Structure 1
Amino acid sequence: MAMRLPSGSAPADQPAEKPSAARILVAEDNEINAAMMATMLRRLGYAVRTAADGAAAVAAVAAGEADLVLMDMRMPVMDGLEATRRIRALPGPEARVPVVALTADALPERVAGYLAAGLDAALAKPIDRDALVATLARLLGRPTPSSPRGAAPA
């Protein structure tokens, strides 16, 4: 079952989600990691949903609920690699939703395997904010919607 964080209320130090913000699905089974990632993404101006396992992530993408997926590679029910394979097998544009591996195992040969399996990029845990921002901008084809510092990265 997907864990969903409240989308209507954001703490005062966070910008409100914009209707035109890219929708990012965070597929992460660790609730603390998912909440931290969701907070970081919301502060950057993205709309965020979470999924607690790969099967829930596939269902969300199939329902057209994501413009990009940040996919933990080790989850219960269905791991990130299998979930990505199933996303790539979906009919229509959902099969082309960018998927980014989130992994503590970021050895070059492992990352090469992820890319060969259909993932678009990989980010090492713990996630570096600048690497995340650059990856999202590249894969979504637009700069970060907003930033706490007021300017989108170049």
Structure 2
Amino acid sequence: MANLFSQLFNLFSPDRPAPIYVPDALPLPAPKAPSVQTNDHTLQPLKNWSHPFKDKNNPLLQLTQLSKAAAGYYPVGRNGLWHGGVHFDSGTAGTLEQQSSVHCLADGEVVAYRIDEHSPTTTYFVDELCVPKPFSRNFVLVRHRLEAPK
């Protein structure tokens, strides 16, 4: 028993050398993943693009109105980087015609989409009360090939 205690206490001794870990074998690099097949060759570079809502009178005004969205900004995000996702919600409801239709930035391929039959709900705190409110997970992801003007 005394030998057991001396071994246990020596484990934490400052004079004890640190154990050296030597792996049995060096890890091998992961195999290359197969490249994703895309139809990039079918998408021609676009030089014309449009805003997501019908009003074409004042594009700057439309971008200004989109910046009022509560959930995100288009076309530049909060971090100053390109953000191609358009958010429209209660922040843009009074200024944009968002009930009838939303247009694509440009022609492209639909990569993914989700349209829920029922809006999920989550609990928000409103004036110190728990209130269940619906939210949207719906999206359409479209791949475009844009060419910047020279």
Task: Give the TM-score range, shorter chain.
Answer: under 0.3
Decide which structure has greater helix share: 1
Which one has a bigger Cα radius of gyration?
2
TM-score, length-normalised on structure 1? Answer: 0.24
TM-score, length-normalised on structure 2? Answer: 0.24
